């Protein structure tokens, strides 16, 4: 294949009569921050969120992993994404950066956020021509005698319950990855090409790692050796901000900053509130340095990421300073007890189009059941601020199907919305989703 002017191969296209498949090449052309490395003498790592480019690149976790792997001189990390219809169309599964086949990578790392992506894991492996079951890979080799890629997984979708995907992975990380990745790579340098079983045995002895093939009795509920959940004691020691920018995501060309991790509120349905305990936060000065660095590169949109953005102890100061710097601010999730009026003002005055309020349930009785203790008065005060600061849209989040829910609670959703309409005269969007129980939540 001819090379482009920069010496790299141009993206490959795969066409059928129904679907045009570029394996992510089209959106990648608009990226900034992607890392291209020569493969010589390096361990090749494939990094995947088993979903589309649009969804995967909206994940700050995927961006952080990409940065952690590629900062090592002897590692080359490239991304692979799932595309709807690609496997059925017979398209090979190639990496984004160099269009290499997935089976050429020696380590394949998945970050999984949602249960429905379990199915995409299996589809990706089949598309790549890799046996989905770990036991099949352990008992065979590739056509040229090489090991199959070592498959590992992490993320909230497996931390909460690894067993549904345990047959497919060689090792699964339970918890947070900042301190696990360097140790994993050290083990891979020593044993990835020499003794794969010794590598798995070493991981099995390492806190945070679950190696299903070495704990087969778990599936018969006999061996209950615990796997210690990893969590970062010193979050400020780690950068938790965007490293890649692209217009083809939910957060187009936005500099995302994790301002805090975990949540101490204890909403009974919230996975993040339990698997990422205890709550920790990044200091104000580090966040401002991160935002300033991004803005110097032309990234003026700043997204604040946290389970409860308004719970940061210096959220008012952060909002005021970001606005002073000229940033356009957005926030992932806010509570209204107490209301951060400087944050709401900064959101409005820097161009935010929507203020989101999440009652989760219509009645105070049911909110008390799920420990969502915000009162209707507090939330209506936020709705009134949305009107005062001229937000074009108010979004209300509800869940239906909570334990103990009655018809009166459903009627309360209607009543709450009608009351919100009395305070807010512009567009109101209602998002009502079914309650889905999560492991490790009450």
CATH number, domain with residue 182: 3.40.50.280
Same domain, 266 and 211: no
Please provide the DSSP assignment of 357-420 as one string.
Answer: EEEESSSHHHHHHTT----HHHHHHHHHHHHHTT-SEEEEEEEE--TT--HHHHHHHHHHHHHH
Answer whether 159's CB lies under 8 Å from 127's CB. Answer: no
239 within some domain:
no
My answer on whether 290 and 179 are in the same domain is: no
Q: Is 72 helix (H, G, I), strand (E, B) or coil?
A: coil
220, 245, 275 - which closes a domain: 220
What order do you get walking across the sheet with 43-49 strand by strand? Answer: 75-81, 43-49, 107-111, 150-154, 171-173, 209-210
Residue 240 inside a domain? The answer is no
d(CA 328, CA 108): 36
pLDDT at residue number 335: 82
Neighbours of 259 (CB within 10 A): 26
- Per-residue model confidence (pLDDT) at position 442: 84
Last residue of a domain, one of 196, 220, 244: 220
Same domain, 309 and 352: yes
Q: Specify if 430 maps to a domain.
A: yes
**Token pair of 177, please?**
């990855």
pTM: 0.89
Q: Of 195, 220, 245, at which residue does a domain stop?
A: 220
Q: Does some domain include residue 390? A: yes
The neighbouring-strand residues paired with 171 are 152
- Are 70 and 148 in a shared domain? yes
Residues (pLDDT < 70) of the chain are 1-29, 216-224
Q: Report pLDDT for 11.
A: 32
- Is residue 258 located within the same domain as residue 138? no
| Claim to verify: residue 215 and residue 331 sit in the same structural domain | no
E strand segments, 9-155 = 14-15, 20-21, 43-49, 75-81, 107-111, 150-154
Rounded to whole angstroms, the Cα distance separating 110 from 50 reads: 7
- Domain annotation covers residue 71: yes
CB distance 96 to 83 below 8 Å:
no
Domain count, the chain: 2
Q: Which domain holds residue 325?
A: 253-434
Q: How many Å is the Cα radius of gyration of the chain?
A: 23
DSSP-assigned beta bridge partners for residue 429: 395
Cα 14 → chain centroid: 28
Q: Quote the tokens at residue 440.
A: 């490790």
Instruction: Flag whether 242 is in a domain.
Output: no
- Quick check: 324 and 297 in contact, CB under 8 A? no
**Residues 104, 23 within the same domain:** yes
Tally of CB atoms within 10 A around 353? 12
Helix axes 196-204, 180-191, angle to 10 degrees: 150
Q: Which run of H or of E encompasses 172? A: strand 171-173
Pair (285, 410) in one structural domain: yes
Give the pLDDT score at 20. Answer: 40
Give residue 373's pLDDT: 87
Q: Tell me how far apart the alpha carbons of residues 116 and 2 are, in angstroms, rounded to a whole number.
A: 39
Report d(CA 56, CA 58) in Å as an integer.
5
Angle between helices 60-70 and 180-191 (to 10 degrees): 40
How many residues does the structure list for the chain? 442
β-pair partners for 44: 76
Domain annotation covers residue 440? no
Domain-embedded: residue 147: yes
What does the block give as tokens for 95? 């990496």
The residue written with tokens 């601020």 in the block is 385
Do residues 259 and 347 both lie within one domain? Answer: yes
State whether 213 and 354 are in the same domain.
no
Show the tokens assigned to 405. Answer: 């829910």
Name the token pair of 28: 């990648």
Q: What's phi and psi for 340, nearest 5 deg?
A: -95, 90
| CATH number, domain containing residue 341 | 3.80.30.20
Please count the CA atoms within 13 angstroms of the CA of 162 that sit on its side-chain side.
29
Query: Does 216 lie in the same domain as 259?
Result: no
For residues 286 and 388, state if they share a domain.
yes
């Amino acid at each position: 294949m001819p090379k482009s002017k920069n010496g790299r191969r141009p993206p490959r296209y795969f066409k059928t009569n129904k679907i045009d498949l570029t394996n992510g090449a089209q959106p990648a052309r608009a990226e900034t921050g992607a890392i291209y490395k020569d493969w010589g003498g390096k361990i090749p790592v494939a990094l995947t969120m088993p979903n589309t480019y649009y969804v995967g690149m909206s994940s700050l976790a995927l961006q952080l992993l990409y940065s952690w792997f590629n900062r090592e001189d002897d590692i080359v990390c490239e991304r692979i994404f799932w595309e709807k219809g690609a496997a059925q169309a017979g398209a090979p599964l190639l990496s984004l950066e160099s269009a290499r086949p997935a089976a050429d990578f020696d380590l394949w790392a998945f970050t999984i956020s949602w249960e429905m992506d379990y199915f995409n894991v299996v589809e990706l492996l089949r598309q790549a021509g890799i046996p989905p079951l770990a036991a099949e890979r352990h008992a065979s080799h590739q056509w040229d005698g090489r090991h199959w890629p070592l498959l590992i997984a992490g993320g909230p979708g497996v931390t909460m319950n690894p067993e549904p995907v345990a047959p497919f992975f060689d090792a699964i990380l339970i918890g947070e990855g900042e301190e696990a990745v360097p140790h994993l790579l050290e083990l891979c340098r020593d044993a990835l090409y020499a003794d794969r079983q010794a590598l798995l045995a070493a991981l099995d002895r390492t806190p945070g790692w679950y190696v299903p093939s070495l704990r087969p009795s778990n599936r018969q509920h006999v061996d209950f050796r615990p796997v210690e959940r990893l969590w970062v004691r010193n979050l400020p020691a780690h950068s938790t901000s965007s490293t890649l920018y692209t217009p083809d995501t939910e957060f187009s060309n936005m500099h995302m900053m994790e301002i805090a991790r975990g949540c101490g509120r204890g909403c009974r349905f919230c996975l993040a509130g339990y698997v990422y305990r205890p709550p920790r936060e990044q200091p104000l000065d580090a966040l401002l340095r991160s935002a300033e660095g991004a803005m110097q590169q032309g990234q003026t949109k700043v997204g604040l990421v946290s389970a409860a953005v308004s719970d940061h102890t210096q959220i008012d100061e952060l909002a005021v300073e970001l606005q002073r710097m000229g940033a356009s601010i957005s926030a992932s999730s806010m509570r209204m007890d107490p209301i951060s009026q400087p944050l709401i003002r900064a959101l409005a005055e820097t161009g935010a189009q929507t203020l989101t309020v999440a009652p989760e349930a219509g009645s105070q009785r049911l909110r008390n059941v799920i420990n969502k203790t915000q009162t209707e008065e507090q939330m209506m005060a936020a709705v009134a601020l949305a009107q005062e600061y001229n937000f074009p849209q108010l979004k209300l989040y509800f869940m239906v199907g909570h334990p103990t829910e009655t018809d009166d609670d459903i009627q309360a959703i209607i009543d709450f919305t009608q009351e919100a309409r009395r305070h807010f005269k512009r567009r109101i969007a209602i998002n009502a989703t079914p309650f889905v129980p999560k492991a490790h939540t009450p």
